[in-house]
Chains A and B, each alone.
Chain A
Amino acid sequence: MATAPEFPGLDLGDKFRFWPKHNEKIYERLESKHAWIEERRAEQRGDGMPVTDMTETDPLDHEMVLNIGPQHPATHGVLRCVVKLDGETIEKTVLDIGYLHRGIEKLAESKTYQEFMPYTDRMDYLSPYSNNVAWCLAVEKLAGIDVPDRAQWIRQIMCELARISSHCLWLGVGLMDAGAMSAFLWTFQMREDIYSIFDEVCGARFTVSHSRIGGIASDISPRSISMIREFIETIQEEIDGWERLLNRNRIWVERNKDVGRITKEEAIELGLTGPNLRGSGVEYDLRRFEPYLKYDEVDFTIPIREDGDCLARYFLRLEEMKQSVRIIEQSLDRMSEGPIRADDAKQAYPSKDEVYYSMEGMIHDFMYTDVGTQAPKGAHAYHAVEGPKGELGFYLTSDGTGRPFRVRINAPSFANLQAMEYIMEGSLVADTVVIIGSLDPVMGEADK
């Protein structure tokens, strides 16, 4: 018998063995969970009791508990799916999230409203600009700040670019999950173009933090406008190409059709949001439900699909990208000249010219960094935007200081993951990858 190796640290034994109590609770939950697929089996058998013990002779009927993730490329992040398999069918699922929990709701309480901006970049890290705008709008609603028109148009253009970039990643990665390698590179080429636009507009490719409370950080340059115009022409051609490749592609269609089906009633009941909810035929898009920015002034349609399976969600997202292109085109044409930040030192930063060349500007800049926007005491407001993943809302409570008293983040991926636990039950284990890809969760957002 081999002797235990000499270990220099403290041997704490069972105490810190990767959170034994945590794992135990998950497995307990898996055992005790009551899933609808058991009921259906019991109906087939006729004795009316849920089937928990499957001692059939067929080896494929054998039960098995499988941990998918947290470190698994197909889970799109650190998502852990503990599944109970019956042959190849998933009988029960328990999702374990929190591996990327950074506690940003807690961190926000010790930051000024502006200081929290970079944290929003890292929530849904596939479309940082929408998160910035969602945060700014929530703070502006809380403090009653009016934003100049030009800033709103620019925010709208960038939000739609962020939506396209997020959907590009969803498509490429979704195809890679289904086994197609090269499409990932094509969609990433488009994402790369969007990064270049962000670089030109904001000075950062990825975590942009370009929006500011009361406006945006810098005005958009003529070069970036021509880059955006060039991009929306290429993306239209590209989307057409992707559709030619995929719409009638037998492998893609058969891999997605009837997989992960959710009915309209289930989708509302489970609290799905965004394209996943609309893919089941529910007309809920915040751009129409409660229009923010300039969405009530541009002409676009909200794509809806009735089927509720992965294929419907694929068609819907491609349609959404085309609508985003329409919104960007109109916004570029209608964008007005003017200031890009609120003209009030208590509501927004002064321009950099002022900070460098005037005494007042410097004082205002200092005061805004130190104290920032002060919302009225006792004010609380919820503002949500339609992010690429769904309803992204911030519920802020103010105590009258420059820091939020409580920030509650309503993350769309959190809601979608909760529904995924139910959707996966009854599907095949090979389809989990397609379902995860199709619901498009981002762990940075779900884990906060």
Chain B
Amino acid sequence: MPEDDRSPDQREDEALKFHYTPAAEARPDQKQDNPHAKGTTHVPEVIDALKGEFGEAIGPVESYANEDTVFVEKARLREVCRFLKEEQNFAYFSDAGGIDRFTDEERYEMFYNLVNLDDQKRIRLKVRIDEADMHVPSVTDVYRAANWNEREAYDMFGFTFDGHPDLRRMYMPEDFEYHPLRKEFPLLGVPGSLPLPPQTPEGELTMDPFAAAHGSKPAKSYEEPRSVDEE
């Protein structure tokens, strides 16, 4: 190997330089608090008002990244929502959904994200639901916008929303028997649960594509309005 006759300075110039050298650990000057935390999500005065009004029904309060989550007793969820809407001005319903915690007790959770448009505040309510009692009070008569969110939670987790005006599945067909977002539902689905086309050209059909032509008529539990001519 030939001798490198250049000076050490020149050799250093040749060394590879990286713009974004990663360190294995956070540098001491890096901020430890959450850089994305917002002021809108911290609502101690609302939580105090809730505790004053409902006392025992308000469970523990969790806070992460400056976001307050209030656990509410399931039976009083509707009252809490009504209080927040009418007394605390949380008029805008942003989101609701279920969570499968996959624990032995109180396996499921429903969360509700509510927004106070005037004071720029957000709050999140959570209720815990046990596997043995899958009933949740519906909040649709307080927040009308919760309708589809509750239908979706029913579809995906199988909660029964008491008092919901139209509890049908949101995405899956009514003929589907499972609740896909539960943790035990396999990612690839349950074979044979949906009439899908065969996966290979020679594959077996699971449905009759010409069923109507073959004279199959679905049973109907309602009467279609007849035209005047038929009468």
The answer to whether B69 and A343 have CB atoms under 8 Å apart is no
Given the interface pairs A19-B175, A24-B218, A358-B16, the reply to whether A418 lies near B148 with Cβ below 8 Å is yes
The answer to whether A105 and B181 touch (CB under 8 A), given A10-B204, A16-B206, A25-B174, is: yes
**Contact assessment for B95 and A408 in the assembled complex, using a CB-CB cutoff below 8 Å:** yes
Contact size range, B:
35 or more
**Given A20-B219, A345-B23, A410-B95: A65 in contact with B224 (beta carbons within 8 A):** yes
Of B143, B172, B185, the contact of A101 (CB 8 Å cutoff): B172
For B3-39 the 0/1 string (1 means CB < 8 A from A) is 0000000000000101111111111001111111111
Is A410 within 8 A of B20, CB to CB? no
| Complex interface: chain A residues within 8 A of B224 (CB) | 27, 65
Of B22, B41, B99, which contacts A344 at CB under 8 A? B22
Which B positions have Cβ atoms within 8 angstroms of A?
16, 18-27, 30-41, 62, 64-65, 67, 69, 91-95, 97, 99-100, 111, 113, 115, 117, 120, 122, 124, 143-145, 147-148, 156, 166, 168-175, 180-181, 185, 187, 195, 204-222, 224-225, 227-228
Complex interface: chain B residues within 8 A of A346 (CB): 24-26
Give the chain A neighbours of B122 by CB distance below 8 A. 290
Please state if A110 and B187 are interface contacts (CB–CB under 8 Å): yes
Task: State whether A380 touches B64 (Cβ < 8 A).
Answer: yes
For B209, what are the chain A residues with a Cβ–Cβ distance below 8 Å? 9
Residues of B near A358 (CB, < 8 A) are 16, 18
Given known A17-B216, A97-B171, A343-B23, contact A381–B18 (CB-CB < 8 A)? no
**Chain A residues within 8 Å of B, Cβ to Cβ:** 4-5, 7-14, 16-17, 19-29, 31, 33, 59, 62-65, 97-98, 101, 103, 105-107, 110, 137, 140-142, 144-147, 268-271, 282-284, 289-290, 292, 339-341, 343-346, 348, 350-351, 353-354, 357-358, 360-361, 364, 378-384, 391, 393, 395, 397, 406, 408, 410, 414-415, 417-419, 447-448
Q: Is the CB of B67 within 8 A of A381?
A: yes
Pair B195/A268 contact, Cβ less than 8 Å: no
Candidates A103, A145, A382; contact of B113 at CB < 8 Å: A382
Known: A16-B211, A351-B18, A393-B94. A97 touches B170 (CB 8 A): yes
Partner of B22, one of A9, A24, A28, A343: A343
Give 16 A-B contacts (CB < 8 Å), ordered by A residue: A16-B208, A21-B173, A33-B166, A62-B228, A65-B224, A98-B170, A110-B187, A269-B145, A270-B145, A271-B92, A290-B40, A344-B26, A381-B64, A382-B95, A408-B111, A410-B113
